[in-house]
């Protein structure tokens, strides 16, 4: 496999020749960067910045605290005017322990399908946008097109807020945003929010033969996980937006840790868990109900020992829910560009809610299927890549003809 230095050197040659790069070749380049959230995305971001610079497009980077990761924002067209933002996250989930049939960081084609980590979620969207840069730069855009790339979406949508905070300050605030999460190029107008939580449980350690002297933190964690599972079963069947499955709020305990040895009553245990909620839900109330149910369970489980048990839950991340309703400006633009089918609501979280909370009309619309995301042998079809190419080409045509800032009725229904 080529190293990042090889990729960087070869890309410089290609950029100097000014040969347009097909979206599939661009996707191969992007997949080749291992941007698993636990590492850095700077190698990809710096390559993209160099690529854009070769077409005389300047990028603005915003970094995390230790500058190991960065967002990128760039404008094609008038640099000081607001336009349409194409947003994508650059990080991917881990591949460790998954049974891949090919190298997950080398794009591999088999029978019209392109395999590799991030192909559907969501580097194909980014690849199609970047591959269109030569075409866009050759046009006189009346509505600018912004590119926005974020870090750490997969671990709590942590990167995008830092970039969104720059909107209207160092960079223009977009008039609307299209977040290219995999949707089979159909509009998604609602997604759940997520509150990520960690609970630390402290009991009392002792020899495993002396149960009367110890207080088992792992047993408490098990009781808590069981009660959260029961509550999730009650909530998930509640009615919600059309097409959202599960329709109600959900709870998942994803990580449980505790104990030091089989014959030691464990003092410590931790649970990492989450609540996914709809836009109409009061997340603080949901969390209160969950913690009250857990307290009742543990009081029953431990009886008079319960007061000696220390249970502390902290918030790790909060992703806002999103509900743009049908017929919004961003959805209407997507339909003009070829998106078809009824608007959808989805149970996963994304960065659309962060854009909407900033007052930016937003929709999710991108190539590929969420069913392939986070899986071994993740893939996207060539058909979906080409459909996305056509979508962005139509956006270029539309932005050449329409000055959205001066034509507020350009995206009204009908």
What is the reported pLDDT for 305?
95
What is the reported pLDDT for 20?
83
| Same-domain status, 181 and 35 | yes
| Contacts for 378 with CB less than 8 Å, ≥ 6 apart | 104, 115, 116, 117, 118, 119, 120, 121, 372
How far is residue 279's CA from residue 293's CA, in Å, rounded to a whole number? Answer: 23
Does 258 reside within a domain? Answer: yes
Closest-CA residue to 324 (of 109, 136, 178): 178
| Same-domain status, 31 and 167 | yes
Does 266 reside within a domain? Answer: yes
pLDDT, average across residues 355-374: 97
What is the reported pLDDT for 242?
81
| Same-domain status, 36 and 87 | yes
- Residue 361, pLDDT above cutoff 90: yes
- Residue 17, pLDDT above cutoff 60: no
pLDDT level of residue 4 (50, 70, 90 thresholds) = very low
- Residue 65, pLDDT above cutoff 60: yes
| Same-domain status, 197 and 269 | yes
Does 145 reside within a domain? Answer: yes
What is the reported pLDDT for 18?
55
Predicted TM-score (pTM) of this structure: 0.90
Does 411 reside within a domain? Answer: no
What is the reported pLDDT for 413?
54
| Contacts for 218 with CB less than 8 Å, ≥ 6 apart | 258, 259, 266, 269
Does 186 reside within a domain? Answer: yes
Question: Encoding tokens for residue 393?
Answer: 């080409």
Q: How many CB atoms lie within 10 A of CB 383?
A: 12
Does 37 reside within a domain? Answer: yes
Range of the domain at 213: 193-319
Task: Give the domain CATH number at 91.
Answer: 3.40.630.10
Which pLDDT tens digit goes with each residue over 256-304?
999 999 999 999 999 999 999 999 999 999 999 999 999 999 999 999 9
Q: Indicate the residue among 298, 319, 340 that finishes a domain.
A: 319
| Same-domain status, 9 and 57 | yes
| Same-domain status, 56 and 149 | yes
| Same-domain status, 232 and 315 | yes
How far is residue 272's CA from residue 199's CA, in Å, rounded to a whole number? Answer: 7
Q: Which residue has the tokens 């049908």?
A: 326
What is the reported pLDDT for 394?
98
Q: Indicate the residue among 261, 293, 319 that finishes a domain.
A: 319
What is the reported pLDDT for 13?
37
Task: Compute the mean pLDDT over every residue in the chain, rounded to the nearest whole number.
Answer: 94
Q: What are the φ/ψ torsions at residue 69 (nearest 5 degrees)?
A: -140, 155
Closest-CA residue to 93 (of 372, 308, 394, 342): 372
Q: Indicate the residue among 304, 319, 334 that finishes a domain.
A: 319
As a whole number of Å, the end-to-end CA separation of the chain is 50
Q: Which residue has the tokens 């997507």?
A: 334
What is the reported pLDDT for 11?
44
Question: Encoding tokens for residue 25?
Answer: 């070749």
Could you give the number of structural domains in the chain?
Answer: 2
| Same-domain status, 337 and 200 | no
DSSP string, 44-64: HHHHHHHHHHHTT--EEEEE-
Does 412 reside within a domain? Answer: no
What is the reported pLDDT for 214?
96
pLDDT, average across residues 367-377: 96
**pLDDT over 70 percentage in the chain:** 95
- Residue 9, pLDDT above cutoff 50: no
pLDDT, average across residues 52-73: 97
Question: Encoding tokens for residue 175?
Answer: 């008039």
Does 275 reside within a domain? Answer: yes
Task: Give the domain CATH number at 312.
Answer: 3.30.70.360
| Same-domain status, 154 and 40 | yes
């Amino acid at each position: 496999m080529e190293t990042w230095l090889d990729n960087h050197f070869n890309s410089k040659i290609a950029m100097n020749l000014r040969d347009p790069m097909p979206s599939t070749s661009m996707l191969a380049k992007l997949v080749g960067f291992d941007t698993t959230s636990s590492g850095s995305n700077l190698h990809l971001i710096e390559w993209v910045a160099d690529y854009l610079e070769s077409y005389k497009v300047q990028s603005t980077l915003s970094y995390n605290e230790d500058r190991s990761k960065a967002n990128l924002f760039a404008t094609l067209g008038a640099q000081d005017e607001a336009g349409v933002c194409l947003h994508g996250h650059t990080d991917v989930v881990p591949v460790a322990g998954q049974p891949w049939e090919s190298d997950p960081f080398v794009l591999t084609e088999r029978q019209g399908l392109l395999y590799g980590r991030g192909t559907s979620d969501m580097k194909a969207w980014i690849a199609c946008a970047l591959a269109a840069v030569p075409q866009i730069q050759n046009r006189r855009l009346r509505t600018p097109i912004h590119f926005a790339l974020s870090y750490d979406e997969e671990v709590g949508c942590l990167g995008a807020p830092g970039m969104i905070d720059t909107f209207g300050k160092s960079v223009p605030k977009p008039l609307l945003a299209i977040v290219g999460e995999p949707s089979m190029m159909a509009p998604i107008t609602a997604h759940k929010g997520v509150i990520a939580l960690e609970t630390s449980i402290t009991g009392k350690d002792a020899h495993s033969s002396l149960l009367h002297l110890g207080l088992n933190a792992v047993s408490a964690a098990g009781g808590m996980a069981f009660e959260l599972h029961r509550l999730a079963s009650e909530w998930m069947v509640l009615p919600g937006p059309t097409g959202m499955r599960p329709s109600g709020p959900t709870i998942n305990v994803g990580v449980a840790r505790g104990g030091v040895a089989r014959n030691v009553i464990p003092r410590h245990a931790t649970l990492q868990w989450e609540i996914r909620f709809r836009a109409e839900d009061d997340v603080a109330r949901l969390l209160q109900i969950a913690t009250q149910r857990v307290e009742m369970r543990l009081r029953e489980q431990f009886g008079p020992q319960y007061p000696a048990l220390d249970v502390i839950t902290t918030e790790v991340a909060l992703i806002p829910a999103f509900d743009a309703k049908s017929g919004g400006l961003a959805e209407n633009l997507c339909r003009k560009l070829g998106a078809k089918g009824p608007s959808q609501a989805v149970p996963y979280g994304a960065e659309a809610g962060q854009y909407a909370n900033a007052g930016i009309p937003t929709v999710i619309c991108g190539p590929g299927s969420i069913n392939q995301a986070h899986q071994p042998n993740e893939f996207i079809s060539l058909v979906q890549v080409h459909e996305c190419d056509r979508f962005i080409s139509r956006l270029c045509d539309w932005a050449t003809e329409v000055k959205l800032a001066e034509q507020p009725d350009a995206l009204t229904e009908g």
